[in-house]
Chains A and B, each alone.
Chain A
């Protein structure tokens, strides 16, 4: 019976292989999206999606739950914001600087945390990110509770004015694609292969001569850097960086997005971010807005109990089970 399905799908083979075709369609949709959907909404989604993808590199592909990723998101935002306000550098350099700052912070966090396992790792990252939160609360340059306001978007390469929302959208899309590309490549690299081995059987990886801590550290730095890149870009989009990004709620929200979409899948966090942003926007206007946290909590519990694999994971599983030739849900 399987052979039947297989030959049927083989007959339908398009010149582009399926994953390439899918990616091309998605890219086309992304390019056309601002014609239909408000660009700021899309940009928020892309920033959070990148944030979730970066987080998922640790949770889904190393198997470590960080509960401190808000620190990297906010550090990217504050550093980029500060430089944009005070030094007048161009936005692409601003984003790079924010990314670098988060990478550095990620290195420090990682040095202190990656030798811990499971819940202890989560607790150390949480504690460290709380230190960062209190630092930003007190530091004069962040504007404390008011946030860092009036961050200019600047001119891309000194040429293109990003205060135009459409121009800004394509800049954010480019940043997202670069970040996503880095994650995708990392997962499918010689380094990613060792990460998989560590996740599958850590003692065995050690016995084969791999210094596991160093691999976890590098993964953590990459994850932190890209979370910083997301935060830096987000600060430019809203021309604002606030303590919300540094709060532990944000660290929790990224866990939610990732689990909702499907951890350990490449697209899961993107879908999770879309769902979360859509729900938040849907309810923010009406009187249900006050119950947003309860609604989120309800979704979270349902998701964790009923759809362990997340939206993308369940879909892949379904396709793999029923249409094995489709190539969906293969172990990545």
Chain B
């Protein structure tokens, strides 16, 4: 039997009678890069919100490392090792780049309620924070105020911040959305470089990135799973070609 890190059973979410996620049975293998694809409005972000409890599911259940986490709070899920990013960039804009990473590192320090200590105790985290920034190519921006970073760099910072928690599993919601070629390549490289010992579930529109990174993929359409499997199988599926990839995609998949 394959080792599943994340599994959902009949995961469903309705918004006032509209079913945004419909009986989804997702199976993510440990160590994979797993892509979740589908047209706009298919329910991909909603699936992420359900997995990380930003929204409660209407019905269905979620298992992470074999444990039922359907009723666990968002912040506790992060502490269990499943950390998400957001479709819109999620940084602390007025803090320095270094501070952004330090806030994540601080989580495992156990001093986050210590209001009587000087913030100087956090300086012991600088070295680790700088290593993480270096690994995403942001070391030279450590003292810059985050809102002054370019969009691509903000997304790289997000990844560094997420990595600071050393999570078993990362959920990335459209990490390359709205980026130019160069940035897309950089992020794709970055994702490959961090996959060691981790599982990554990512929503991605750019099929070149998907074909390059993903071991398996799930296609979502109108809230329901159309198909799930390895890249070759899924991209060969005529229903996928028709429903999602369309005509133009033929060349893209071939590329």
Contact surface of A with B, Cβ cutoff 8 Å? 185-186, 188-194, 196-197, 200-201, 203-212, 214-215, 218, 222, 331
Q: How far is the CB of B227 from chain A (nearest CB, A)?
A: 29
Q: Does B239 contact A (CB under 8 A)?
A: no
Q: Is the interface of B mostly helix, strand, loop or mixed?
A: loop
Whether B90 contacts A203 by the Cβ 8 Å rule is yes
Whether A193 contacts B74 by the Cβ 8 Å rule is no
Known: A185-B118, A211-B75. A196 touches B90 (CB 8 A): no
Closest A residue, CB atoms, query B90: A204
**Contact of B114 (CB < 8 Å), options: A189, A201, A211:** A189
Closest B residue, CB atoms, query A205: B103
Give the residue among B54, B86, B103 with the most A Cβ atoms within 10 A: B103
Give the residue among A193, A209, A222 with the most B Cβ atoms within 10 A: A209
Q: How far is the CB of A198 from chain B (nearest CB, A)?
A: 9
Q: Does B15 contact A (CB under 8 A)?
A: no
How far apart are the CA atoms of A56 and B117 in the complex, in Å? 20
Whether B106 contacts A194 by the Cβ 8 Å rule is yes
Q: How far is the CB of B173 from chain A (nearest CB, A)?
A: 11
How far apart are the CA atoms of A201 and B79 in the complex, in Å? 18
Q: Which chain A residues border B121 with CB–CB below 8 Å?
A: 190
How far apart are the CA atoms of A293 and B91 in the complex, in Å? 43
Whether B99 contacts A210 by the Cβ 8 Å rule is no
How far apart are the CA atoms of A218 and B117 in the complex, in Å? 15
**Contact of A185 (CB < 8 Å), options: B74, B76, B103, B116:** B116
Q: Which chain A residues border B91 with CB–CB below 8 Å?
A: 201, 204
How far apart are the CA atoms of A189 and B109 in the complex, in Å? 13
Contact sample, A vs B, 30 pairs, CB 8 Å cutoff: A189-B116, A190-B106, A190-B109, A190-B117, A190-B119, A190-B121, A191-B114, A193-B99, A193-B119, A193-B122, A194-B106, A197-B92, A197-B95, A200-B93, A201-B91, A203-B54, A203-B86, A206-B78, A207-B52, A207-B83, A207-B84, A209-B83, A209-B107, A210-B107, A211-B76, A215-B112, A218-B113, A218-B115, A222-B115, A331-B94
Whether A189 contacts B115 by the Cβ 8 Å rule is yes
Binary A-proximity of B220-255 (CB < 8 A = 1, otherwise 0): 000000000000000000000000000000000000
Whether A189 contacts B78 by the Cβ 8 Å rule is no
**Contact of B78 (CB < 8 Å), options: A188, A196, A200, A208:** A208
Closest A residue, CB atoms, query B112: A194
Q: How far is the CB of B55 from chain A (nearest CB, A)?
A: 12
Closest A residue, CB atoms, query B54: A203
Closest B residue, CB atoms, query A222: B115
Known: A185-B118, A200-B93, A200-B94. A206 touches B109 (CB 8 A): no
How far apart are the CA atoms of A212 and B86 in the complex, in Å? 18
Q: Which chain B residues border A209 with CB–CB below 8 Å?
A: 75-76, 78-79, 83, 107, 165
Q: How far is the CB of B118 from chain A (nearest CB, A)?
A: 7
Whether B165 contacts A206 by the Cβ 8 Å rule is no
For window 41-92 of B, CB contacts with A under 8 Å fall at 52, 54, 73-76, 78-79, 83-86, 90-92
Whether A192 contacts B115 by the Cβ 8 Å rule is yes
Known: A208-B83, A211-B76. A188 touches B90 (CB 8 A): no
**Contact of B115 (CB < 8 Å), options: A185, A204, A205, A211:** A185
Q: Which chain A residues border B122 with CB–CB below 8 Å?
A: 190, 193
Q: Which chain B residues border A210 with CB–CB below 8 Å?
A: 75, 107, 112
Q: How far is the CB of B45 from chain A (nearest CB, A)?
A: 13
Closest B residue, CB atoms, query A207: B84
Binary A-proximity of B149-176 (CB < 8 A = 1, otherwise 0): 0000000000001100100000000000
How far apart are the CA atoms of A211 and B99 in the complex, in Å? 19
Closest A residue, CB atoms, query B119: A188
Closest A residue, CB atoms, query B161: A208
For window 125-153 of B, CB contacts with A under 8 Å fall at 145
**Contact of B92 (CB < 8 Å), options: A185, A189, A201, A218:** A201
Q: Does B26 contact A (CB under 8 A)?
A: no
How far apart are the CA atoms of A205 and B104 in the complex, in Å? 8
Q: Does B40 contact A (CB under 8 A)?
A: no
How far apart are the CA atoms of A211 and B121 in the complex, in Å? 21
Whether A206 contacts B117 by the Cβ 8 Å rule is no
How far apart are the CA atoms of A210 and B162 in the complex, in Å? 13
Give the residue among A189, A210, A222 with the most B Cβ atoms within 10 A: A189
Closest B residue, CB atoms, query A211: B75
Q: Does B111 contact A (CB under 8 A)?
A: yes
Q: Which chain B residues border A208 with CB–CB below 8 Å?
A: 78, 83, 103-104, 107, 161-162, 165
Which 7 A-B pairs give the minimum distances between C-beta atoms?
A: A209-B78, A191-B115, A204-B90, A200-B92, A186-B115, A211-B75, A209-B79
Whether B75 contacts A188 by the Cβ 8 Å rule is no
Whether A189 contacts B107 by the Cβ 8 Å rule is no
Q: How far is the CB of A222 from chain B (nearest CB, A)?
A: 7
Closest B residue, CB atoms, query A212: B75
**Contact of A207 (CB < 8 Å), options: B86, B102, B111, B114:** B86
Q: Which chain A residues border B115 with CB–CB below 8 Å?
A: 185-186, 189-192, 218, 222
Q: How far is the CB of B149 from chain A (nearest CB, A)?
A: 14
